[in-house]
């Protein structure tokens, strides 16, 4: 791979992918809607060219993809738009990749696996999604596999890290960094996975560099599952966070959803906070090697340091955030 296109380059996973690709000497086209954000992120990076465009406009994607070897699909859309946007977007990417003779690497989540089982989820388990969003993700995967394009489908748990907004853990950290009462979505006693974006990017780029990794599904788990209580303990110890936490339940999300479309759509995914899907990384470990694994303590501190730089109100934290 000499040149790659990253769609969604201003988001958390997109940013981590661009960073990892550049670290390996690969030229990158960073694609997103916002010119200002692209310039802010990549204006000092000589190996990155930016492209402001709309991924639902085929001509935009085609122009950005000229001469690339791999197209990384790290885009996401608002939950309430998924049924209209994701199927159209994946079809556009397939047509562009076919015209450019490029490969596709899809940043995927765990929704297509459906209801959790009493064991770690491996790639060979039959996918039977029971939610609207899970069915949309499976439709995207099937479209890739039915095409003639070499495709890489990589399943990740919920993310956290720099630029990774609109995630469950970001909902907590955004108030912690201001030393305000923070929300924790879901049961604080249940162990769940949260993946540091840069770990996911390292694993995905490693796969994308290997021809024999394509036309397969791969799971990239977090370092280990962790409870909300354990995360809160880290925050108390590392930043001296002393405020209380509000637990946000499905009932609360449903009520907020009366006024906010995003929260209304989040309700059906709340099952993951009570009975999480836990990924097995055995396939990657056996065929590739150790999965990148930043500790929660280190990853959270790096994320909070980044958030502190972005938010002028973060100075209210009572104890300095350190590495």
First to last CA, the chain: 33
The beta strand positions in 20-145, using DSSP E, are 27-32, 48-52, 70-73, 103-108
Contacts of 320 (CB under 8 A, 6+ apart): none
Q: 31 pairs with which residues across the strands? A: 7, 51
Whole-model pTM above 0.75?
yes
> How would CATH label the architecture of 3-157+194-219?
3-Layer(aba) Sandwich (3.40)
- Cβ contact 309:246 at 8 Å: no
**pLDDT for the residue numbered 317:** 45
- Cβ contact 122:282 at 8 Å: yes
Mind listing the pLDDT tens digit of every residue in the chain (323 residues)?
Answer: 999 999 999 999 999 999 999 999 999 999 999 889 999 999 989 999 999 999 999 999 999 999 999 999 999 888 888 999 999 999 999 999 999 999 999 999 999 999 887 789 999 999 999 999 999 999 999 999 999 999 999 999 999 999 998 888 998 998 998 888 998 999 999 999 999 999 999 999 999 999 999 999 999 999 999 999 999 999 999 888 888 888 988 888 777 766 666 667 778 888 899 889 999 999 999 999 999 999 999 999 999 999 988 876 654 444 443 33
- Cβ contact 243:179 at 8 Å: yes
The span from the CA of 220 to the CA of 229, in Å, is 24
* Rounded-to-10 torsion of CA 36, 38, 39, 43: 170
DSSP character for 215? S
Total Cβ atoms within 10 A of residue 59: 11
DSSP-H helix ranges across 35-167: 35-42, 58-64, 82-100, 132-146
The span from the CA of 68 to the CA of 167, in Å, is 30
Start-end ranges of CATH 3.40.50.720 in the chain? 3-157+194-219
The packing angle between helices 168-176 and 296-310, to 10°, is: 60
| Tokens describing residue 295 | 């500790």
The span from the CA of 223 to the CA of 193, in Å, is 8
The span from the CA of 91 to the CA of 106, in Å, is 13
């Amino acid at each position: 791979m000499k040149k790659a296109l990253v769609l969604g380059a201003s988001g958390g996973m997109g940013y981590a992918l661009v960073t990892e690709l550049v670290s390996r000497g690969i030229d990158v086209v960073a694609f997103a809607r916002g010119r200002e954000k692209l310039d802010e992120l990549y204006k000092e990076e000589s190996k990155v060219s930016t492209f402001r465009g709309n991924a639902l406009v085929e001509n935009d994607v085609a122009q950005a993809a000229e001469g690339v070897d791999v197209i990384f699909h790290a885009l996401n859309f608002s939950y309430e738009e998924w049924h209209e946007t994701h199927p159209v977007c994946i079809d556009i990417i397939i047509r562009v990749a076919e015209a450019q003779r490029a490969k596709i690497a899809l940043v995927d989540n765990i929704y297509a696996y459906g209801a959790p089982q009493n064991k770690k989820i491996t790639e060979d388990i039959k996918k039977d999604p029971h939610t609207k969003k899970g069915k949309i993700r499976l439709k995207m995967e099937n479209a890739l596999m039915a095409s003639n394009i070499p495709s890489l489908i990589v399943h990740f748990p919920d993310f956290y890290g720099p630029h990774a907004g609109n995630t469950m853990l970001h909902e907590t950290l955004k108030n912690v960094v201001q030393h305000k009462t923070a929300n924790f979505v879901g049961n604080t006693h249940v162990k769940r996975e949260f993946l540091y974006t840069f770990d996911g990017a390292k694993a995905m780029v490693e796969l994308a560099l290997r021809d024999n990794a394509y036309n397969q599904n791969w799971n990239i788990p977090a370092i280990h599952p962790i409870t909300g209580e354990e995360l809160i303990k880290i925050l108390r110890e590392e930043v001296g966070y002393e405020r209380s936490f509000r637990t946000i339940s499905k009932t609360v999300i449903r009520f907020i959803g009366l006024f906010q479309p995003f929260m209304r759509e989040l309700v059906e995914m709340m099952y993951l906070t009570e009975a999480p899907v836990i990924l097995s990384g055995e396939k990657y470990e056996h065929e590739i090697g150790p999965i990148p694994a930043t500790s929660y303590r280190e990853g959270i501190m790096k994320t909070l340091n980044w958030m502190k730089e972005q938010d002028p109100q973060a100075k209210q934290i009572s104890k300095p955030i350190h590495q």
